[in-house]
Amino acid sequence: MSWLLLIPCLLLTVLVTGALVSIAARPWIRLPLFPLFNLKATQEAYRGLSRGGYAIVVGVFGWGWSCFFGITLSDYFDRVLLGGPVHNSSLSSAVWELAIWSLGGAMFGYAMRGSERREARK
């Protein structure tokens, strides 16, 4: 039953983090407020980023933080609404998990930017 909560949590996470990414990424890139609704402008904006900027914007903000918020929100709803198991939900563990997802997101962003550049050369 808890997997049914994952779908609305992921949808909410995608919409909210899309808006947050466009706000947080303002120093590097001008994205539309909801990047999913204007894909052409979003792709053009991503092309202008350096590899490090792409890793931060797409990897950390777009992938790492989205995964962190989606999983955290799903765990919260599972615990509150369905009486699921209580996890260690201290502030220090949340900060640690966010740092791990951010590092994973940065690696994801670097890898994706490299593969995108190789495909563009072909």
* The two three-digit tokens of residue 91, written as one number: 């502030």
Percent over 90 (pLDDT), the chain: 10
Q: For the chain, what is the mean pLDDT? A: 76
| Residue 103: per-residue pLDDT | 95
Answer for the pair 5, 78: CB distance below 8 angstroms, yes or no: yes
User: How far lies 40's CA from each of 11, 15, 32, 44, 54, in Å?
Assistant: 21, 17, 10, 6, 16
Mean pLDDT of 22-50: 72
Quote the pLDDT of residue 5: 66
Domain that holds residue 113: 2-121
Domain count, the chain: 1
Confidence (pLDDT) at 1: 45
Q: Model confidence over 84-106: pLDDT tens digits?
A: 676 667 788 889 999 999 999 99
pLDDT of residue 122 exceeding 60: no
